Amino acid sequence: MDYFVFERELEDKLASALAEKSLLHTLNAKAYPITLTVLQNQAEDAQMSLYASADGSISSHDSVLRFVFKLDGLEVQTDSRIVIGDAFLSKVKGLAKKIHYAYLQAYFAATVSSVGHPMEDPVDEQDEDELDDGSFDGFYSVPYEDGTEDADED
């Protein structure tokens, strides 16, 4: 089963939204923290559209917008001058969060289906039978140095 279908659909949606602004993205999920990077499309036809901006604001050709997903939250980083409207930035940020969440869900599902739940105690059935004999005799016993035991009494 391919657990990453929804994550790829979200990435395609992000790619089409970014393409309208001559931007590209990359997702690095091979290391911690997971990062989603938005950068300028360096193709010639995309570069020409950068200079045709109606409001006169131009991003640097080497500008980068990076979403870094850490345990304590999302960190947004920029390199060079990148000009993005507030509404578009919110849209990209929202899609980045959805992609991150979809990736985590898919990764967890793939891991659990292949190796089992990572939080399960690896006790085999024989050990469970030995542990569940229904007896609590000696559970509260305190062993002495000579090997005898003294049961605690209330």
Which of 51, 26, 53, 22 has the alpha carbon at shortest distance from 38? 26
The pLDDT assigned to 70 comes to 96
Span of 56-60, 69-73, 97-101 with lowest mean pLDDT: 56-60
- The enclosing H or E element of 94 equals helix 86-115
- Is residue 125 very low, low, confident or very high in pLDDT (cuts 50, 70, 90)? low
Q: How far, in Å, are 3, 6, 55, 92, 125 from residue 101 at the CA level?
A: 13, 10, 35, 14, 35
DSSP letter for 81, please.
-
Q: How far apart are the C-alpha atoms of 114 and 109, rounded to whole Å?
A: 9
1-60 per-position pLDDT tens digit: 899 999 999 999 999 999 998 899 999 999 999 999 999 987 766 555 544 455 667 778
Q: What is the pLDDT of residue 122?
A: 58
Whole-Å CA distances, 82 to 57, 105, 112, 117: 9, 31, 40, 43
pTM exceeding the 0.95 threshold for the entire prediction: no
Ordered by where they begin, the domains of the chain are 5-115 (3.30.160)
CB 1, CB 8: distance < 8 Å = no
Is the pLDDT at 76 greater than 70? The verdict is yes
CA distances from 40 to 14, 136, 152 (A): 14, 68, 73
